[in-house]
Every structure is written in structure tokens, then in C-alpha cells.
Chain A
Amino acid sequence: MEPGKNVPRRRPHLLERDTGEAIIVMAETGHVLHTLEGTAPFIWRLIDGSHSIDMILDRLQSEYAVDRSRAADDLDIFIQQLAEKNMIE
């Protein structure tokens, strides 16, 4: 993700499986299966290089009727975790 641009995208060459209840993601270079559950699959599908963090937050608030401030904190943590796992750019 470019600093200041705040428009994350999934890294290319990730392998995914949508099980209905969750999304399983694996990096091409490893064999660790990451599980995205709860609201994570909804957010993951918006991380496509065309939705800014603010736009994702708008969609979250609309979909789940959550407090914006809290949602922003949770989203920030989730994005950081994805970045640490090298799943987004």
C-alpha cells in the first residue's frame, strides 16, 4: 500500500478458497493457511485497489450498523495484521 494513498489491494498470486462461512487465503510462497471469518471476508473482498480505507469504512458502517469510531479502530488493526502477513500492498 502506497504511503498516503490508503487504497489497499490484495497481493497478487494469493490462493483463496471461499467456503461460504470464511475465506481461506494462502500466500504463493508458503503453506500457511490464513482464515478470514466474521466481517473479515466482507472487508477482504473490498481490498481490491479501488476502495480507499474511508470507502471500506463507509461500507462497513452501512452493512453492519456499527459505531464508526470503533469500526475505524478495528479496521486499522485488521489492515495492519494483513500487512504484517504480507497479504496486501
Chain B
Amino acid sequence: MNEYRLRVGNAVIALVFGSERDRAASARYFSRPSDHGPADIQLSIRFRDDADERMEVPSSLFRTKLGNAERFSMAGGLIEGRYSPSSGEGELSVQRLITEGGYARIYEQVFYQAYWSAVWRKGLDSLLLHSSGVIHNGRGYAFSGRSGAGKSTVARLSPGATILNDEITAIDLSEPSVMIMDTPFNASFRGKKRGTAALGGILLLKQAPFHRLTRTTGLEPQKTLAREIIPPMGLETSFSPARFMDMFDLSQRLFKRIPFYIMEFQQDPRFWDLIETIGG
């Protein structure tokens, strides 16, 4: 069986391909071997090569998702599939076009949804956060912000630290400690490593001509972080604006347990001197 097991944080998604070539390509793309843990859900993936070259690829698979668990489509039919939450099994039919080049990061959004399906099936209390995750001196930090805020820059300016990812990290909210974990998703930083650590702080990034770390409270940082939580939407779920309120709820839960900071920083690693002063 041409199976590749993809570990995302504390969930494992088994991907079953029609060919060894496709299995190997996935392993190369995610830059890690197949995981040895038991799969939480299984997806059979078949690729199609009959896309109209004029077809536009939207930036969001979440917003373009139609249908339900029995039959759904995303991105105007570029991805079609079905998923059974009771069995944890599903099928995807994917236009190969969306897996190539710059579109690959859009294709990854299918696996964000698969992650949520796996989390719910396994009964985990976790989420995915649009953030750079770094373990420094045994403690984890999530650097969050919009594209261009500096997530990859922070990763690059962290010599000696373990970079879990510079785009998406997994966060486990189970007691007793909130943990940050690696994910296999790709952005510009290719040195990501496996790892997990207790989360010491969430830092909302802002580029500046100086370094400053400001502990922040109140609603605005919670709303800012909410926008960076990957919508809790499994393969079996359709899109609705209510997902945004779910994201706010998750942000609030994080806020109650983990200190939030505004990190203003310039392009050198001395911001770590400030972060090391964070207690806990």
C-alpha cells in the first residue's frame, strides 16, 4: 500500500496514494519520513491531470468549500471528496495543478482540515496557529502575525534554537501545560525540526527600528490572535462565519493560560535578550 503517515502536532493522518511515485513526492514535500504512530484518520488521494489551464486557483480552500461530509468540493472543484467522521476514512480527488509550485501552500489547507478531523476524532484539545514556533532554552514561543509580519525572520534570527516551523504550529491545550508542537507545513524556512515544549508566551509581531517587548492584556490582542488561528473546520464541516467566533473562543482560552506580548523588533537576534526575561 502506498501509504504516507503525516504527523501534525499530536495527530497522525494516513495518506494512501495510487502510486509509489505520489507517495514519495509527498514525503519529499513534507521533508520527513512517514510517521510510525497509529493513524487517527485515513485519506485515499487520487490525482487528476485534466485541469483547464485557465482555471484560477483561489487563495482559500476554506471559503470555497461547498457540500458536506458525504460529498464536498473546494476551489471550484479542484479538490473533491468525502469523509466519514464515524469511520475516520475519506477520499480526495485532487487536480494535480493545485499541488505544484506556489499553489502547494493552498493545497496544504486540505491537511489543516484533515488535522481538525483527526483532532475531533481523537478527542484532542488542540489547534493550529499561524505562527512561527521556536524552542529556546527548553521553552516554547509562538510568534504570530499576518504574512510579512516577520515570522520567518524570527526563525532565521534564532541561532541555536529549535525551529518547529515558520508558518504553522500546533498548540495543545490539554492540562497541565499548554504545549507547542511542530507541524510539517512549508513556508520559506527549510530547517524546521520535530519537537514539543511547554509554551512560555505568544508574541504578536511588529517590525520596528528597536526591540521592545510589552505584555499586553485586553480584547484587542485576543481579537488579533483569533484571526491567526486556523479555522476549526474539519473535512466534514462546511464553511460558515460562525467559525470566526470559534477562533475567538480559542484565542480567549489561550489568553487565560499563556501571557501575550507585543514584540517590536528589528533585524537582529537581540530580541531574545528580552524574551529571556519572561518569567515562568
Give 1 or 0 for each of A10-28: 1 = CB within 8 Å of chain B CB: 0000010101011010111
Give 1 or 0 for each of A25-68: 1 = CB within 8 Å of chain B CB: 01111110101010000000000000000000000000000000
Taking CB atoms, residues of chain B closer than 8 Å to A30 are 241
Measured CB to CB, the nearest residue on chain B to A22 is: B219
Task: Summarize B's interface: helix, strand, loop or mixed.
Answer: helix
- Cα A79 to Cα B35 with chains together (Å): 56
Taking CB atoms, residues of chain A closer than 8 Å to B219 are 19, 21-22, 24, 35, 37
Measured CB to CB, the nearest residue on chain A to B226 is: A33
A33 touches B241 (CB 8 A): no
The answer to whether the Cβ of B238 comes within 8 Å of any Cβ in the partner chain is no
Number of interface residues of A (CB under 8 A): 15
A26 vs chain B, min Cβ distance (A): 6
The answer to whether the Cβ of B1 comes within 8 Å of any Cβ in the partner chain is no
The segment from B4-12, B128-136, B152-160, B245-253 that touches chain A is B245-253
Closest CB pairs A-B (n = 7): A31-B244, A15-B245, A33-B223, A35-B219, A26-B245, A22-B219, A28-B241
Give B residues with C-beta under 8 Å from A.
219-220, 223, 226, 241-242, 244-245, 248-249, 252
Give A residues with C-beta under 8 Å from B.
15, 17, 19, 21-22, 24, 26-31, 33, 35, 37
